[in-house]
Amino acid sequence: MITGKTKLLGVIGHPVSHSLSPVMHNAAIANLGVDFAYLPLPVKPEDLAVAIAGFAAIGLEGFNITIPHKQSIMPFLTEITPIAQAVGAVNTVWRTEQGWNGTNTDVIGFLAPLKPLDQPWTETDAVILGNGGAARAVVAGCAELGCRSIHVVGRDRAKLATFQQSWAHSAAAALLQTHEWHDLATLIPTAGLIVNTTPIGMYPQVDHSPVDVSLLERLQPGAIAYDLIYVPKPTLFLQQAAQQGAIAIDGLEMLVQQGAAALEIWLQQPAPVDVMRRSLQQYLNLT
């Protein structure tokens, strides 16, 4: 029940109506029996400053950030964790006496399904398809795993150069190379981990894949194919990679685990991960 004492959390974005965060966070809040509510908070880019001031005025406890505010939120924060600084984006903010603090839980989310695998990471070459916001969390994650090399594949040479440059002062710089798509033919046979961070194959374009099946045939058996997309589950890319003997990982667990990590910051107690996962599976009609 929402009462006069209920503490508020939320997600800001523009648009925010597609966000699944209210579903999983409110399911977790109900399960824990804590007096919180998690709201969708639509904020236009030009209204960000006034919205943040308003959140402080009403005592919002914290919030998630989705497109397009993940970078533009940063000047409003008093402290930003080193992982969020490395990624260059913030997806979770919490209130302190000194002001708003921010971090990025996408890296924790990305790593969660990989960490239990018995993979020799220091001998693993990672190939990342796409060079947008999610690719940044994936690069940071691959660096944390200790991958031998990280190859980011994109379609726009200027954006690739900017991407490469943005890591110049981080530990990932020595591992990172950027490529255009035609390089995939030489990258795939040695890839131990291939991650799709593009929206290619996402519902409703379910018969699209970022990698032609003739290239996927060159994948090593036992390689890990990871798609950040969670609808459909699995994507065509994951289905075809699994047919080549790859270990397939979809994006649902990343979504759940980044949310759980955020909730633990706000509530200072363990998140009910199973409840969060089940709420999304039910909402998305996934088995």
> H-type helices in the chain, by residue range?
21-32, 48-58, 82-87, 106-111, 133-145, 157-166, 184-187, 213-216, 236-243, 252-267, 273-283
Q: How far is CA 249 from CA 29, 148, 182, 230, 233, in A?
A: 27, 21, 24, 10, 9
Are 219 and 244 contacting, i.e. CB atoms less than 8 angstroms apart? yes
- The residue type at 109: G
Is the CB of 131 or the CB of 170 nearer to ligand NAP? Answer: 131
**Shortest CB 130 distance to ligand NAP, Å:** 4
Contacts with ligand NAP, residue ranges (CB under 6 A): 106, 109, 130-135, 154-156, 159, 197-200, 202, 228-230, 251, 254-255, 258
Is the CB of 193 or the CB of 200 nearer to ligand NAP? Answer: 200
The closest residue (CB) to ligand NAP is 132
**Shortest CB 160 distance to ligand NAP, Å:** 9
Report the half-sphere exposure of 218 (CA within 13 A, side-chain side). Answer: 13
Distance (Å, rounded) from C-alpha 137 to C-alpha 86? 9
In this structure, what are the phi and psi dihedrals at residue 140, rounded to the nearest 5 degrees?
-60, -40
Is the CB of 88 or the CB of 109 nearer to ligand NAP? Answer: 109
Is the CB of 8 or the CB of 199 nearer to ligand NAP? Answer: 199
**Shortest CB 59 distance to ligand NAP, Å:** 28
Q: DSSP character for 147?
A: -
**Shortest CB 276 distance to ligand NAP, Å:** 12
So which residues are the catalytic ones?
A: 70
